[in-house]
Amino acid sequence: MKDLIAAALSGLCVVHCLATPVLLALGSSGLLLGALSSEWFHYLMLLPISVLLAWSLPGGWCVHKRKAPFLLGLSGFLVLIAALFAPHEAETALSISGGLLLISAHLYNRKLLHKLQGPQHAAN
What does the pLDDT average to over 49-72? Answer: 93
41 — pLDDT class (breaks 50, 70, 90): confident
Return d(Cα 4, Cα 11) in angstroms, integer: 10
Non-local (6+) Cβ contacts of 116 within 8 A are 63, 64
In 3D, which of 98, 109, 104 has the Cα closest to residue 45?
98
Domains of the chain: which residue ranges?
A: 2-122
pLDDT at 42: 78
The DSSP code for 123 is T
Residue 52: name the closest of 11, 96, 97 by CA. 11
- The Cα–Cα gap between 12 and 6 comes to 10
pTM of the shown model: 0.81
User: What's the distance, Cα to Cα, between the start and end of the chain in Å?
Assistant: 5
Q: Which residue has the higher pLDDT, 53 or 23?
A: 53
